[in-house]
Structure 1
Amino acid sequence: MQTKKIALLTLVTSILLVSGAQARESIELSSPEFVDGGMLPVKFTCEGEGISPPLSWRGVPQGTQSLVIIMDHMPMSKSEPKVAKYPAGSPDSQAGHDENNPAQVTPAPLPSHKPNKPEGLRWYWGMYNVPATVSGIQAGQVAGALGSNVVNRKSEYAPPCSKGPGVKNYSFHLYALSAFLALPESDNVSAAVLRNKMRGLVLGSGSLTVSFERYGQTQQPVH
């Protein structure tokens, strides 16, 4: 009887260990310039300097080899709420946007005859193959390879320059991967490409969401 109890205990322990190893861990993502659910400072938008914001993180899972940063925006209705918060490390509540299953994200459409038509997930910044030893980036800093953006398809940060009146919400995501991403040199490494490539490699993730509303008039194209 004692032998059976020991065997059963060993089996249960093994199952728990395996389950724990497969669970994705939550990473705490933050910025010294804004808070989750707050407003994005103007200097990181088209009405300011237009530089990428500083970010920092902690709680990267053991075994992480590289990190991926993605900034995106899911256009919503005209009554888009001021804040669309998603708990760090959990799947976004927006349809088709699941951090734990990055390959299932619906990619934003290629520009058509109406390039500013807000349909589908739109991405503004992507950075991949960031070494796991990096715990944060400064404003405008590049710590890995840059992906493209939906605005001009270039490999650079595209500052938000929202079309039309009202508050728009933008989310920053950090993914911890068990390997570096092997991607050929390309001018179109989109957020969808990155998420597809990340399939099966995500050990943990974190996110934060901020809002931005245009007030001034600029000569820059409206995105």
Structure 2
Amino acid sequence: MKLESSAFEADSLIPSQYTCDGANISPPLSWDAPPAETESLALIVDDPDAPVGIFVHWVVYDLPPETLHLPEGIAPQATLLKGGTHGKNDFGNLGYGGPCPPNGTHHYVFKLYALDRTLSLQSGATKAQLEAAMNGHILAAAELVGRYAKRR
């Protein structure tokens, strides 16, 4: 699978509207069709450069397998309009929390997973809970990395 965004190229800067310096809305994402046996999709966005260790910015799971994109500005509610469930990010909220590095340029890793089952986790699951539920059920994965340095 290939994961991309119309808002930024792989390994390039994430526009400020998708960060704490801007509107702090989720960027548009799209991907090609997952394997035929896919039952659900999951998305994790995290920052491996955070001073406290990996910082989680977005957790989404149980996206229908026919979903091939997420539009800009997904509302931070428990469930997504066209299917899927929001987990909790490390800001302590449901939904997307944009890049807001305390210093320097950080990398933000968007990871999409095709799974052989629906996970049926309650909304608000953490990245660790999602990863435990996905263990042994990943059919394919794709990754997109963007960078961001907070304005001074």
Deviations 1:73-130 (A, max 9, x none): 1127xxxxxxxxxxxxxxxxxxxxxxxxxxxxxxxxxxxxxxxxx2222110011000
Matches of 1:124 and 1:134 in 2, distance apart? 21
Q: Does the aligned pair in 1 maintain the 2:46–2:58 contact within 8 Å?
A: yes
Say yes or no: does 1:156 pair with 2:95.
yes
- TM-score normalised to the size of structure 1? 0.62
Decide which of 89, 108, 113 is 1:170's aligned counterpart.
108
User: Which residue of structure 2 lines up, in the alignment, with residue 199 of structure 1?
Assistant: 135
The Cα of 1:214 is off from its aligned counterpart by: 1.1
User: Which residue of structure 1 lines up, in the alignment, with residue 146 of structure 2?
Assistant: 210
The Cα of 1:186 is off from its aligned counterpart by: 5.2
Hey, which bits of structure 1, 4+ residues long, moved more than 6 A? Answer: none
Matches of 1:150 and 1:201 in 2, distance apart? 24
For residue 197 of structure 1, give the secondary structure of its aligned residue in structure 2: helix
Which runs of no fewer than 5 residues in structure 1 stay unpaired?
1-26, 77-117, 217-223
- TM-score normalised to the size of structure 2? 0.90
Query: Are the structure 2 counterparts of residues 52 and 63 from structure 1 closer, same or farther at C-alpha, using a change threshold of 3 Å?
Result: same
Q: Does the aligned pair in 1 maintain the 2:107–2:148 contact within 8 Å?
A: yes
Decide which of 119, 122, 147 is 1:181's aligned counterpart.
119
User: Which residue of structure 1 lines up, in the alignment, with residue 40 of structure 2?
Assistant: 66
The Cα of 1:144 is off from its aligned counterpart by: 1.2
Query: Are the structure 2 counterparts of residues 42 and 61 from structure 1 closer, same or farther at C-alpha, using a change threshold of 3 Å?
Result: same
Q: Does the aligned pair in 1 maintain the 2:86–2:123 contact within 8 Å?
A: no
Structure number with higher helix proportion:
1
Matches of 2:63 and 2:120 in 1, distance apart? 13
Larger Rg over CA atoms: 1
Q: How much is the aligned-residue C-alpha RMSD, in angstroms? A: 1.3
Percentage of identical aligned residues: 33
Amino acid at match of 2:62: N
Decide which of 106, 123, 130 is 2:63's aligned counterpart.
130
Matches of 2:95 and 2:17 in 1, distance apart? 16
Which runs of no fewer than 5 residues in structure 2 stay unpaired?
75-79
User: Which residue of structure 2 lines up, in the alignment, with residue 31 of structure 1?
Assistant: 5
